[in-house]
Amino acid sequence: GDSVEQPIFSRSSIGTFFQERPVLNNPFLEDALLQKYLSRHLPTQALGTVGADLAKFGERIVREIDALGRQCDENPPRLQHYDAWGCRVDNILTCPAWARMKEISAEEGLVAAGYERTYGEWSRVYQMSKLYLYSPSAGLYTCPLAMTDGAAKVIESLGVTRPVEKAYRRLTSRDPQQFWTSGQWMTERKGGSDVGKVISTFCTASGTETLALSQADGIYKLYGFKWFTSATDSDMTLTLGRVVDVHGHTTKGSKGLSLFYAEIRDQQGKLNGIEVQRLKDKLGTRQVPTAELLLDGLPAHRISDEGRGVASIANMLTITRIHNTVAAVAAMRRIIQLAREYATKRFVFGKFLKDHPLHVQTMARMEVETRGAFLLLMKVCQLLGREETGLASNLDLHLLRLLTPVAKLYTGKQAVAIVSEGLECFGGQGYMEDTGLPRMLRDGQVLSIWEGTTNILSLDVLRCLAKSHGQTLQALFTDVKAKLTAASGNQALVPSVNVVDSALCRLGQFVQAAARRPPSYMELAARDLAYSLARIYIGALLIDHAAWEGASHADIYAAQRWCEQDLCPVFTKDVSSWYNLETPDKDAALVYEGSPL
Ligand code: UCC
Ligand code: FAD
């Protein structure tokens, strides 16, 4: 046996082995797919500057930003209700790292880049690529940035005129002294998903109860209670309220909602008719202050036509849902980046983790999911960029509308699964808070809840299919078909092309059959339909990427592996028994068995 000369576990001696920790390297330089995507799509002149900027930013993330993100996590915001002299102040106190993130966001143009449009139709791809590198190190500063971007988009679409001209300039500024962030206050106690409808025998008032009282000078004062308001330390907000007419009446339902712009603090820095009830005690996203607010005469400008609140804020939802997708895909990519690095250092059963085929298979499965999600994200960003530079075809516009909720709902769920698997790649250490890893899972869980839950977004998919009378779906079919046709000459991809083609065909048959059923049928199918669209479209994107001349064997392999899974869940289940009229009762009986209800 081994001869032991000196005891290594005694008194202050705690052993000689310490596991090498995972190290974060430049996330841009280690992201083969992002680099390949940019070299394939960006015009040559843009590629040089964009690539250099992303490489430099990647370095800044490693050197400076990642540590700031950790500090935001370790020093969550606090609410100070009263000052030392007993005056009510409702100060939300954030840490210096959070303030620094605001400066960095301005300096790096993390919102501005989307509006400067330096790279034409590729400007959104550039901006979102930057946010994608930033997100896992950002200490959730991406949350206010998402809403800031959304607010700028709403203002741009409604017109950059008084009273929101100044706000637009500040939201899109690169000057840290000028830069503003915005909130998005939609949710009230009666409804987050349902901000407007709620008209039933159980409930007479509508989801949003905030009242907007018109003032002599043309502005309004808002009275209400906002149940969730994130990044409440923002400078301004967009919010919904119900205008009270001269007779003291409001219009019920969504048709009574208008969109308002409000500045949160006055010239002296005091809250403008707002009381902060409390900060939320959250599972994750603890870096971000999320508050409950009493609006007690908040001065606000109505910026939509009366009753067009929901439709007007929809532009904000599109942008924040894309940011949500960025956050989801970025979390997946980061956990894989760290896990594969760790696998070169952790030595078990006589070899490094990277030499255990079963462990590598686990990471390969995560990688395939992440690649698919990444290509879907980039497609949506590309479409947004085309729309904003007037280059979008009708097909592009339909695809943007459809793929935005599809990407948000699909990647939100994927992120939780992949990050959870990713934590396991570190064994017990993946569960230890001070590694910084568990935070990723806690923060990931919100991605399927805020900005529209999975079911709400599945219903949004149905809404846009219905509103376009099938044209949106047709656009997706046309685009998938074109990608498959272009790739069909590549022998290695033929089986994958056939699988996606037949899934698309089944989806078409399903939708045709569903059109002859009552609407309740489609409602029950909504989530499976959204998943089918996501999986089929991602399959087409992976194939399209793999068929590109610059693609690697790994790109081809990723496409093949994706296509091994069930791409069309809506069809492969016994649909006639799953989505029919008896199902809700059977589901309810199953769920409520044993419950007193
Ligand atoms: O959660 C929040 C902030 C979290 C912090 C920020 C994180 C950002 C990500 C960061 C990553 C790190 S803010 C709260 C978010 N809340 C939601 O997402 C609400 C979820 N609920 C829905 O989306 C519902 O579908 C509603 C509220 C939109 C449903 O309302 P209605 O009143 O039932 O809607 P209608 O009647 O169907 O539609 C009203 C109008 C229609 O237009 P018109 O009147 O012209 O026919 C719709 O076509 O709004 C239009 N519309 C849309 N248009 C509705 N949804 C959309 C859409 N998605 N795109 C375009
Ligand atoms: P509910 O609508 O009560 O949903 C409960 C469940 O019912 C969900 O599973 C949902 O999918 C399902 N469901 C609801 N309706 C249907 C339907 N028609 N068919 C099938 N299933 C359905 N909001 C803001 O406005 N601003 C913010 O800054 C903000 N920040 C947030 C921060 C955090 C950390 C969190 C967790 C939430 C935040 N929210 C914010 C609120 C968030 O947007 C809502 O909580 C979310 O949209 C869900 O709304 P709800 O809570 O009313 O859930």
Q: Which of 260, 456, 458 to mutate to test the pocket of ligand 2 (most atoms within 8 A of CB)?
A: 456
For residue 253, give both structure tokens: 């339902």
For residue 411, give both structure tokens: 């990647």
Question: Is 311 touching ligand 1 by the criterion CB < 6 Å?
Answer: yes
The residue whose CA has the least distance to atom 4 of ligand 1 is: 450
**Under a CB-based contact definition with an 8 Å cutoff, are residues 241 and 224 in contact?**
yes
Within its chain, how far is the Cα of 529 from the centroid? 20
Asked if the structure places residue 579 within a domain, the reply is yes
**Under a CB-based contact definition with an 8 Å cutoff, are residues 175 and 109 in contact?**
no
Ligand 2 atom having least distance to the Cα of 523: 19
For residue 511, give both structure tokens: 């939708």
Question: Is 192 touching ligand 2 by the criterion CB < 6 Å?
Answer: yes
> 196 CA distance to ligand 2 centroid (A)?
13
Per-residue CA distances from 73 to 66, 76, 279, 422 (Å):
11, 6, 16, 20
Angstrom distance (rounded) from CA 51 to CA 35? 8
| Boundary-marking domain end, from 266, 284, 311 | 311
**Under a CB-based contact definition with an 8 Å cutoff, are residues 491 and 436 in contact?**
no
| Boundary-marking domain end, from 293, 311, 329 | 311
The residue whose CA has the least distance to atom 49 of ligand 1 is: 311
Interacting residues of 530 by C-beta distance below 8 A, sequence separation 6+: 405, 406, 409, 410, 457, 458, 461
In the chain, the N- to C-terminal Cα span, in Å, equals: 67
- Ligand number with the minimum distance to the CA of 257: 1
Asked if the structure places residue 582 within a domain, the reply is yes
Asked if the structure places residue 228 within a domain, the reply is yes
Question: Is 188 touching ligand 1 by the criterion CB < 6 Å?
Answer: no
> For strand 88-93 and strand 9-10, is the pairing parallel, antiparallel, or unpaired?
unpaired
For residue 375, give both structure tokens: 């290509």
> 445 CA distance to ligand 2 centroid (A)?
13
The pLDDT value given to residue 164: 96
- Ligand number with the minimum distance to the CA of 140: 1
Angstrom distance (rounded) from CA 157 to CA 422? 40
| Boundary-marking domain end, from 263, 285, 311 | 311
Asked if the structure places residue 217 within a domain, the reply is yes
Interacting residues of 217 by C-beta distance below 8 A, sequence separation 6+: none
Q: Which of 233, 288, 321, 453 to mutate to test the pocket of ligand 2 (most atoms within 8 A of CB)?
A: 453
Angstrom distance (rounded) from CA 559 to CA 540? 9
> 452 CA distance to ligand 2 centroid (A)?
6
Asked if the structure places residue 129 within a domain, the reply is no
CB atoms within 10 A of CB 205: 13
CB atoms within 10 A of CB 360: 15
Within its chain, how far is the Cα of 309 from the centroid? 22
For residue 273, give both structure tokens: 């008719």
Domain that holds residue 250: 181-311
Ligand 2 atom having least distance to the Cα of 285: 34
Considering only CA atoms, give the Rg of the chain: 25
Angstrom distance (rounded) from CA 572 to CA 506? 9
Question: Is 151 touching ligand 2 by the criterion CB < 6 Å?
Answer: no
ipTM of the predicted assembly exceeds 0.95: yes
Residue type, 64: E
The Cα angle at residue 419 between residues 413 and 425, in degrees rounded to 5: 145
Per-residue CA distances from 540 to 249, 303, 410 (Å):
52, 40, 16
For residue 368, give both structure tokens: 């395939």
The residue whose CA has the least distance to atom 42 of ligand 1 is: 311
Alpha helices in 64-164 (DSSP H): 66-74, 96-107, 112-116, 123-134, 142-158
**Under a CB-based contact definition with an 8 Å cutoff, are residues 243 and 192 in contact?**
no
For residue 109, give both structure tokens: 């143009």
CB-neighbour burial class of residue 47 (10 A; exposed 0-12, middle 13-18, buried 19+): middle
Question: Is 337 touching ligand 2 by the criterion CB < 6 Å?
Answer: no
pLDDT in tens, 187-242: 999 999 999 876 665 555 568 999 999 998 989 999 999 999 999 999 999 999 99
Asked if the structure places residue 266 within a domain, the reply is yes
Asked if the structure places residue 187 within a domain, the reply is yes
Question: Is 187 touching ligand 2 by the criterion CB < 6 Å?
Answer: yes
Asked if the structure places residue 416 within a domain, the reply is no
Question: Is 367 touching ligand 1 by the criterion CB < 6 Å?
Answer: no
* Three-class secondary structure of residue 121 per DSSP: helix
Question: Is 317 touching ligand 1 by the criterion CB < 6 Å?
Answer: yes
Give me the residues of the chain with pLDDT under 50, please.
Answer: 576
Helices 44-60 and 32-41 meet at what angle, rounded to 10? 160
Q: Comparing C-alpha atoms, which of 235, 224, 143, 180 is closest to residue 451?
A: 143
CB-neighbour burial class of residue 29 (10 A; exposed 0-12, middle 13-18, buried 19+): middle
Beta bridge partners of 299: 221
Which CATH number characterizes residue 241's domain? 2.40.110.20
The residue whose CA has the least distance to atom 21 of ligand 2 is: 455
- Ligand number with the minimum distance to the CA of 135: 1
Give the CA dihedral 475, 477, 478, 480, nearest 10 degrees.
120
The residue whose CA has the least distance to atom 18 of ligand 2 is: 456
The pLDDT value given to residue 452: 97
Angstrom distance (rounded) from CA 384 to CA 129? 14
The pLDDT value given to residue 197: 78
Interacting residues of 285 by C-beta distance below 8 A, sequence separation 6+: 140, 143, 230, 442, 443, 446
* Three-class secondary structure of residue 470 per DSSP: coil
* Three-class secondary structure of residue 183 per DSSP: strand
For residue 501, give both structure tokens: 């083609």
Ligand 2 atom having least distance to the Cα of 282: 34
The pLDDT value given to residue 577: 61
Q: Provide the number of structural domains found in the chain.
A: 2
Question: Is 290 touching ligand 2 by the criterion CB < 6 Å?
Answer: yes
> 449 CA distance to ligand 2 centroid (A)?
6
DSSP letters spanning 23-64: ----TTTT-HHHHHHHHHHS-HHHHHHHHHHHHHHHHHIIII
Give the CA dihedral 53, 54, 56, 58, nearest 10 degrees.
160
Question: Is 181 touching ligand 2 by the criterion CB < 6 Å?
Answer: no
